[in-house]
Amino acid sequence: MLREIVLDTETTGTDAKGGDRLIEIGCVELINHVQTGETFHRLVNPQRAVSEGAFAVHGISDAMLADKPVFADIVDEFVRFCGDARLVIHNAPFDVGFLNMEFGRLGPAAPKAIVLEEVVDTLLMARRKHPGAANNLDALCNRYGIDTTRRVKHGALLDAQILAEVYVELLGGKQTSLGLSVAEPVEATAILAAVDSGPVGPRPMRSRLTDAERERHAAFIAGLGTNAVWRDYLGEPETA
């Protein structure tokens, strides 16, 4: 069983090292590339203001976050939900950078940092599959016919759910397995019926030549002579 967690975040801005913080985490569980319905979603009080640029993207205001828990209060629940599953993220360095920065603020009891190389980055997958094309989430949804009418603003959980659909398409579509299913056994009665009806396997086609056509063909062959070159291809010995 393959368990993966598709993850997305929203933040106060774009500079984790410069002090921007996480404000929302959304996760979707996949088992063998299928959404199970299990999700994790939390808004987080960043203890700093949301930038105007970030607010324009996700629409999450300072007022909406004022009464929400800080990251330290939800981190254990988040880590338990993810477990040892593989993370799937679009533009992974951005989200992983923010998560690891938040972990680093927790001190000695912090969870171990996320290793970027162990994360499936769907942006890199898309760039390999569609080089030179736009590969942001909206462009991929348009390319694969995924409905985004519910996505008025960016939101971590909704974006994670949409990304889960995109991820499956990047893997090759809903039929991502090799399809090596076990065929249904043929019933004995069907086998007996086939045997009774004649030999099993391909049947020779019925000749459509008329008797007159066969006679003309035989006369043509006789007229070629016994030492004709074409007999070499049939392996027939030449006659003196």
Residues at the binding site for substrate are 8, 10, 58, 159
Q: Is 154 one of the catalytic residues? A: yes
| Per annotation, catalytic residue among 90, 130, 154, 217 | 154
At residue 24, what are phi and psi to the nearest 5 degrees? -155, 140
Instruction: List residues forming the annotated binding site.
Output: 8, 10, 58, 159
Among 29, 33, 2, residue whose Cα is nearest residue 168: 33
What spatial distance separates the first Cα and last Cα of the chain, rounded to whole Å?
76
Question: Within a 13 Å sphere around the CA of 50, how many CA atoms are in the beta-carbon half?
Answer: 23
Beta-bridge partner residues of 3: 31
Strand stretches in the chain, DSSP E: 3-11, 22-31, 34-43, 86-89, 120-121
Is the CB of residue 120 less than 8 Å from the CB of residue 89? yes
Instruction: List residues forming the annotated binding site for a divalent metal cation.
Output: 8, 10, 159
**CA 58/CA 45 separation, integer angstroms:** 15
Is the CB of residue 140 less than 8 Å from the CB of residue 126? yes
Among 101, 125, 126, 124, residue whose Cα is nearest residue 111: 101
Q: How do the residues of the chain divide into helix, strand and coil, expressed in percent and rounded to 5? A: 40, 15, 45
Kindly list the catalytic residues.
Answer: 154
